[in-house]
Amino acid sequence: MELHTSHLIVSPVPHIRDAVTTQRIMFNVILALCPALIASIVIFGWRALLVEAVTVAACVLSEYLWCRLRHKELTVGDLSAVVTGLLLAFNLPVTVPLYLPVIGAVTAIIVTKELFGGVGCNFANPAIVGRITLAVSFPALMTNYTYPTPVVACDAISSATPLGTDTAVPLLDLFLGTHGGVLGETCCLALLLGLGWLLFTRTIEVTIPLVYVGTVAVLSLIFQQGVLQQLLSGGLLLGAIFMATDYVTSPFTRKGKIIFALGCGIITCAIRFWGNMNEGVSYSILLMNLVVPIINDKTRRTPMGGGKQK
């Protein structure tokens, strides 16, 4: 950048800017979600793609309409609504009636994101709030985990999430995702591929997923639940990789991230082992989202030469 004395710019930090934009970060996340997207179509059939398309379209459209109606700058181009839409769709079972994704999208984009100031200002992950609103509103429709047209040949179709059944699903099925569940959570292989891409492009740090999954593993070991069973089933990997790592709603510092992920893991296990619900990932992330401002405040780094705060 050229500096002219006549154009001396006085501005707050940050002074060093990279070519990385919100759009590029979001594009990387979308790429990372692609394996899971493909897996969902392979496992659950073409209706999965329909549900995902409707959710993404509803999210983008809500954001577009809101910005137009409120005469705000159009933020659709930053792709964050697409990511929210994909994540929300990954939390829906394939059998949902198509108005459910629309309600979820409006809750996620307008209520959770835009009412609080738009991208970067949301108090919690929009997709999580959308999912929880739908789960609380339509408990029967949201837990209808059958898949009507299995493309992959399999011996048995389990109708509930493996966390809710007594019969153990073979670990290989859990890993490949050929069992009942919501669209994006079942195929652990695809989610791990996505994690690899996010780490490779340095979109996220490994801290949150590692500590989150590690906490669940250790607690499963302590309370004698099947460790691999706990890690591979339910929405744990989807939540730990894509939802808990949301920039806006996770702490800034590494110490903060560790505390955040520990909290997520403990709450998830508490709900899974002793709660009356099968799955606690979304609630645990929502709860920890809410305390992120406190974590950020308590783990603030002292600037060099700043001395200790009194």
In the complex, the residues that contact other proteins under the rule CB under 8 A are 97, 99, 103, 111, 133, 136-139, 141
- Nearer to other proteins among residue 133 and residue 146 (C-beta): 133
For the bound state, the minimum distance from the C-beta of residue 57 to other proteins, rounded and expressed in Å, comes to: 19
For the bound state, the minimum distance from the C-beta of residue 108 to other proteins, rounded and expressed in Å, comes to: 14
Widest distance between CA atoms in the chain: 75
For the bound state, the minimum distance from the C-beta of residue 142 to other proteins, rounded and expressed in Å, comes to: 11
- Nearer to other proteins among residue 111 and residue 277 (C-beta): 111
250-254 CB contacts, 8 Å cutoff, 24+ apart: 250/208, 250/289, 250/292, 251/292, 251/295, 251/296, 251/299, 252/296, 252/299, 253/296, 253/299, 253/300, 253/301, 254/205, 254/207
For the bound state, the minimum distance from the C-beta of residue 111 to other proteins, rounded and expressed in Å, comes to: 8
- Nearer to other proteins among residue 141 and residue 287 (C-beta): 141
- Nearer to other proteins among residue 98 and residue 206 (C-beta): 98
- Nearer to other proteins among residue 102 and residue 193 (C-beta): 102
For the bound state, the minimum distance from the C-beta of residue 141 to other proteins, rounded and expressed in Å, comes to: 7
Chain centre to alpha carbon of residue 296: 20
- Nearer to other proteins among residue 99 and residue 247 (C-beta): 99
Query: Is 144 within 8 Å of 160 (Cβ atoms)?
Result: no
Burial-class residue 187 by CB neighbours within 10 Å (0-12, 13-18, 19+): buried
For the bound state, the minimum distance from the C-beta of residue 201 to other proteins, rounded and expressed in Å, comes to: 37
